[in-house]
């Protein structure tokens, strides 16, 4: 029997099996084949396009094969590395004063788009003399045009690889999104960066009830969840561009509007979760007149019956008593820190009859990580920070009460001595975990010490106002006794040193929102004595942090603008090293909303939806 021979391969081919293998390895079809739903050969031009005489185009980014995706990622990283090397080389070799300004802008966590804008608007003359800067400028522009997928910072790879710290469902708590992953991400952000400093919500009870999905829960409610999600959007994702910033702001505004709608539905009924949600929104009160001071004060009064558990109380009742106790103290802390910042009387008195929770150092339960960045777990010292903040605000209340209520009886010298004595006592009573310099690591502990120094500055300013019979002055600093001036400057420099610790350990991309108040207070003091080198250095350092904060909170942006305006009015010269940080102030149209915070867009969205302001 004759041996059978394989059929010859068709002309131009290498056999059926090879053609099948080639089709098997095709990762993506050309645009024409996709449109007509044809099998594509994967060659360029492909067989179908040649046959039909049409243009053949491939979108390489649509290739979802692992090898292709990794290759594109490697190419993008290599290109970004080239940009980084060029930028560093330019900063190293350039001898102009603009070099430091550009470096400080980069230190403030500026996006590529913001660096590009600064180079375009402020460095035109240097561009003509520095070819390297021209090349850097062109490279930045090219990266910005590559699309949002390539606009990720070096740490973004860490961010996306980190699982949310807390897994919670979106339903039934919010109608804004059904994405459990995103809601878990926002909740994890909030309990990492906001909650540890003020700590007016029992985290474990809240998470337990949110995970249960039961709307009958005592420690969670749709109003509270939406308020937290709105607040957390200011921390969400990296603000690499105006577009991503506006996306976060728009979603935050939707959560905010949902929270407001749910609060209106409660019609004055106060539960523990309602009071806690008001605390979340109270942090943003200055931008939302519909949250009146009386609402929070009323909520605190309504909570007081909850703090006494019956003798035969079960575990749930005891949990409610403990949580209400912490909430009332926490809301007092929020009110008092706002009073220090705004120089207005606090709306809540210290609940001295309520016992503070005991300090515990559970090495396994009380841990903190800088989510969403991967890092080793650190002791959070949450309860220690909470008790210390409560004690500090009791001092703040007692010292400022006469000023706010027109009952100034003692002299400025006596009040100053009392402040110093009580702060020394407060310092001496701090647990070692909050006192030792090398033990101060986590952001909320750094924030606590910044607030202490902000309190010192504020009290001395109030004392000076009292001595002048309540007459205020924009240059109040120069009316103080020299010793008080030096005390204020020393505290301002201490705030700068603490911020430097924060920047070296955690960067400035995210920080507790409470940090911005001490920074702004310190900047205004340092502005008055920039002729002293150490004050000048502290001012530059804090300006970098303030600029970073201004991209997330409109209050920080407004504070920087006030500093610039005050300098202009009084003929004060800001350090040239900060020119890049103040460059965009005074240029934004008055009616154009800022996009840094979800709350800055809320009023705009409410108006567009046909809702009016309640203020």
Domain for residue 111, yes or no?
Answer: yes
CATH at 21: 4.10.240.10
Domain for residue 264, yes or no?
Answer: yes
DSSP-assigned letter for residue 274: H
Tokens of 256: 């905010």
Single residue among 103, 120, 149 that ends a domain in this structure: 149
Q: Can you tell me the distance from the alpha carbon of 552 to that of 232, in angstroms, rounded to the nearest whole number?
A: 11
Q: Which of 47-56, 201-210, 515-524, 600-609 has the lowest mean pLDDT?
A: 600-609
Q: Is the peptide bond before 372 cis (omega within 30 degrees of 0)?
A: yes
Question: In this predicted structure, what is the pLDDT of residue 466?
Answer: 58
Q: Is residue 19 within 8 Å of 10, Cβ to Cβ?
A: no
Quick one: what percent of the chain has pLDDT higher than 90?
36
Q: Which of 34-38, 267-271, 305-309 has the lowest mean pLDDT?
A: 305-309
Mean pLDDT on 553-571: 89
Q: Which of 313-327, 404-418, 482-496 has the lowest mean pLDDT?
A: 404-418
120 and 224 co-located in one domain: no
Q: Is residue 605 within 8 Å of 254, Cβ to Cβ?
A: yes
Q: Is residue 583 within 8 Å of 118, Cβ to Cβ?
A: yes
| More confident site: 277 or 94 | 277
Question: In this predicted structure, what is the pLDDT of residue 131?
Answer: 58
The whole domain housing 30 covers 17-62
Residue 132 pLDDT > 60:
no
What is the CB-side half-sphere exposure of residue 330 using CA atoms within 13 A?
Answer: 31
Residue 19 pLDDT > 60:
no
Q: Which of 124-128, 217-221, 468-472, 492-496 has the lowest mean pLDDT?
A: 468-472
Question: In this predicted structure, what is the pLDDT of residue 352?
Answer: 86
472 exposure class (CB count in 10 Å sphere: 0-12, 13-18, 19+): exposed
Domain for residue 445, yes or no?
Answer: yes
Q: Which of 147-151, 489-493, 526-530 has the lowest mean pLDDT?
A: 147-151
389 and 499 co-located in one domain: yes
217 and 264 co-located in one domain: yes
196 and 131 co-located in one domain: no
Question: In this predicted structure, what is the pLDDT of residue 546?
Answer: 94
Single residue among 306, 329, 349 that ends a domain in this structure: 349
Domain for residue 7, yes or no?
Answer: no
12 exposure class (CB count in 10 Å sphere: 0-12, 13-18, 19+): exposed
Alpha-helix residue ranges (DSSP H) falling in 468-515: 482-506
Question: In this predicted structure, what is the pLDDT of residue 536?
Answer: 96
Neighbours of 435 (CB within 10 A): 14
Question: In this predicted structure, what is the pLDDT of residue 547?
Answer: 93
Mention every residue, 6+ apart, whose C-beta is less than 8 A from residue 319.
202, 205, 219
Single residue among 9, 41, 62 that ends a domain in this structure: 62
Tokens of 576: 């040239």
Domain for residue 107, yes or no?
Answer: yes
Query: What sign for the dihedral angle of Cα 110, 114, 116, 122?
Result: negative
b/e for 316-341, b at 16 or more Cβ within 10 A? eeebbbbbbbbbbbbbbbbbbbbbbb
Residue 11 pLDDT > 50:
no
334 and 410 co-located in one domain: no
Mean pLDDT on 262-267: 89
Mean pLDDT on 596-609: 35
Residue tagged 């999104």 (tokens): 177
pTM for the model: 0.75
145 and 197 co-located in one domain: no
Residue 214 pLDDT > 70:
yes
Mention every residue, 6+ apart, whose C-beta is less than 8 A from residue 465.
403, 471, 472, 476
pLDDT digits (tens, 9 = 90+) for 56-71: 888 766 665 556 667 7
Residue 402 pLDDT > 70:
yes
Question: In this predicted structure, what is the pLDDT of residue 399?
Answer: 87
b/e for 361-392, b at 16 or more Cβ within 10 A? eeeeebebbbbbbeeeeebbbbbbbbbbbbbb
Question: In this predicted structure, what is the pLDDT of residue 613?
Answer: 32
Mention every residue, 6+ apart, whose C-beta is less than 8 A from residue 92.
none
Residue 286 pLDDT > 50:
no
Question: For residue 315, what pLDDT band results from cuts at 50, 70 and 90?
Answer: confident
Q: Is residue 368 within 8 Å of 548, Cβ to Cβ?
A: no
* Highest mean pLDDT: which range of 23-37, 299-313, 341-355: 341-355
Tell me the Cα Rg of the chain. Answer: 29
Domain for residue 6, yes or no?
Answer: no
Domain for residue 606, yes or no?
Answer: no
Mean pLDDT of the chain: 78
Question: In this predicted structure, what is the pLDDT of residue 189?
Answer: 95
How many residues are listed for the chain in this entry? 615
Question: In this predicted structure, what is the pLDDT of residue 150?
Answer: 35
Mean pLDDT on 408-418: 74
479 and 367 co-located in one domain: yes
134 and 178 co-located in one domain: no
282 and 174 co-located in one domain: yes
| More confident site: 87 or 544 | 544
Q: Which of 19-23, 72-76, 198-202 has the lowest mean pLDDT?
A: 19-23
Q: Is residue 183 within 8 Å of 177, Cβ to Cβ?
A: yes
Question: In this predicted structure, what is the pLDDT of residue 312?
Answer: 63
For residue 252, which phi and psi values (nearest 5 degrees)?
Answer: -60, -40
Question: For residue 133, what pLDDT band results from cuts at 50, 70 and 90?
Answer: low
Mean pLDDT on 43-67: 78
CA dihedral defined by 96, 97, 102, 104, rounded to 10 degrees?
A: 150
Domain for residue 390, yes or no?
Answer: yes
Q: Is residue 289 within 8 Å of 615, Cβ to Cβ?
A: yes
pLDDT digits (tens, 9 = 90+) for 453-510: 999 999 888 887 755 554 555 567 888 889 899 999 999 999 999 999 999 888 888 9
Mean pLDDT on 511-528: 93
315 and 408 co-located in one domain: no
343 and 367 co-located in one domain: no
| More confident site: 240 or 460 | 460
Question: For residue 259, what pLDDT band results from cuts at 50, 70 and 90?
Answer: very high
| More confident site: 565 or 7 | 565
| More confident site: 615 or 276 | 276
pLDDT digits (tens, 9 = 90+) for 338-370: 888 888 888 889 998 888 877 777 767 789 999
| More confident site: 35 or 116 | 35
Tokens of 515: 């940090």
pLDDT digits (tens, 9 = 90+) for 162-202: 789 999 999 999 999 999 999 999 999 999 999 999 999 99
What is the CB-side half-sphere exposure of residue 15 using CA atoms within 13 A?
Answer: 5
Residue 125 pLDDT > 70:
no
Q: Can you tell me the distance from the alpha carbon of 578 to that of 560, in angstroms, rounded to the nearest whole number?
A: 11
Question: In this predicted structure, what is the pLDDT of residue 413?
Answer: 72
How many structural domains comprise the chain? 4
535 and 416 co-located in one domain: yes
């Amino acid at each position: 029997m004759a041996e059978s021979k394989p059929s010859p391969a068709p002309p131009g081919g290498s056999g059926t099996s090879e053609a099948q293998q080639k089709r098997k390895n095709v990762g993506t079809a050309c645009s024409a084949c996709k449109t007509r739903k044809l099998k594509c050969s994967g060659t360029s031009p492909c067989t179908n396009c040649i046959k039909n005489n049409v243009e053949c185009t491939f979108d390489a980014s649509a290739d979802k094969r692992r090898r292709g995706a990794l290759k594109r990622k490697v190419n993008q990283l290599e290109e970004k590395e080239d940009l980084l090397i060029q930028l560093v080389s330019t900063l190293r070799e350039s001898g102009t004063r603009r070099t430091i300004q550009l470096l400080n802008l980069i230190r403030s966590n500026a996006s590529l788009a913001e660096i590009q804008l600064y180079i375009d608007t402020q460095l035109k003359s240097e561009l003509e003399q520095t070819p390297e800067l021209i090349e850097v400028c062109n490279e930045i522009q090219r990266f910005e045009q590559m699309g949002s997928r390539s606009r990720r910072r070096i740490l973004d790879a860490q961010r996306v690889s980190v699982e949310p710290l807390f897994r919670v469902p979106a339903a039934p708590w919010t109608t804004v999104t059904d994405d459990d992953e995103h809601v878990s991400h926002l909740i994890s952000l909030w309990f990492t960066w906001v909650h540890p400093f003020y700590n007016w919500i029992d985290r474990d009870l809240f998470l337990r009830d949110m995970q249960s999905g039961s709307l009958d829960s005592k420690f969670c409610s749709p109003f509270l969840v939406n308020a937290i999600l709105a607040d957390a959007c200011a921390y969400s994702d990296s603000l690499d561009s105006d577009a991503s910033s506006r996306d976060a702001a728009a979603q935050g505004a939707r959560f905010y509007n949902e929270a407001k709608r749910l609060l209106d539905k409660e019609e004055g009924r106060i539960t523990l979760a309602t009071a806690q949600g008001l605390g979340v929104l109270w942090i943003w009160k200055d931008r939302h007149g519909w949250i009146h001071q009386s609402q929070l004060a009323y909520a605190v009064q309504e909570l007081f019956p909850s703090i006494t558990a019956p003798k035969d109380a079960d575990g749930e009742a005891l949990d409610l008593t403990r949580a209400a106790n912490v909430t009332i103290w926490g809301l007092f802390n929020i009110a008092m820190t706002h009073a220090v910042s705004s120089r207005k009387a606090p709306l809540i008195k210290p609940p001295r009859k309520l016992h503070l929770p005991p300090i515990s150092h559970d090495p396994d339960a009380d841990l903190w990580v800088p989510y969403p960045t991967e890092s080793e777990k650190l002791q959070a010292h949450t309860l220690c920070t909470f008790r210390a903040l409560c004690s500090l605000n009791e001092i703040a209340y007692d010292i400022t009460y006469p000023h706010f209520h027109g009952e100034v009886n003692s002299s400025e010298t006596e009040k100053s001595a009392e402040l110093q004595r009580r702060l020394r006592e407060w310092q001496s009573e701090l647990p070692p975990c909050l006192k030792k310099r090398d033990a101060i690591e986590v952001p909320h502990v750094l924030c606590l010490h910044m607030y202490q120094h902000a309190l010192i500055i504020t009290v001395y300013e109030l004392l000076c106002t009292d001595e002048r019979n309540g007459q205020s002055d924009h240059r109040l600093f120069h009316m103080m006794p020299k010793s008080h001036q030096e005390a204020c400057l020393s505290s301002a420099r201490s705030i700068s040193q603490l911020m430097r610790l924060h920047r070296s350990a955690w960067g400035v991309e995210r920080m507790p929102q409470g940090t911005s108040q001490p920074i702004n207070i310190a900047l205004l003091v340092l502005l008055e004595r920039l002729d002293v080198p150490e004050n000048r250095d502290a001012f530059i350092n804090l300006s970098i942090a303030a600029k970073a904060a201004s991209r997330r909170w409109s209050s920080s942006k407004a504070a920087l603008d006030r500093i610039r305006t005050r300098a202009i009015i009084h003929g004060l010269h800001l350090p040239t090293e900060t020119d890049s940080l103040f460059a965009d102030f005074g240029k934004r149209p008055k009616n154009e909303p800022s996009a840094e915070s979800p709350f800055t867009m809320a009023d705009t969205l409410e108006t567009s939806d046909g809702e009016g302001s309640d203020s």
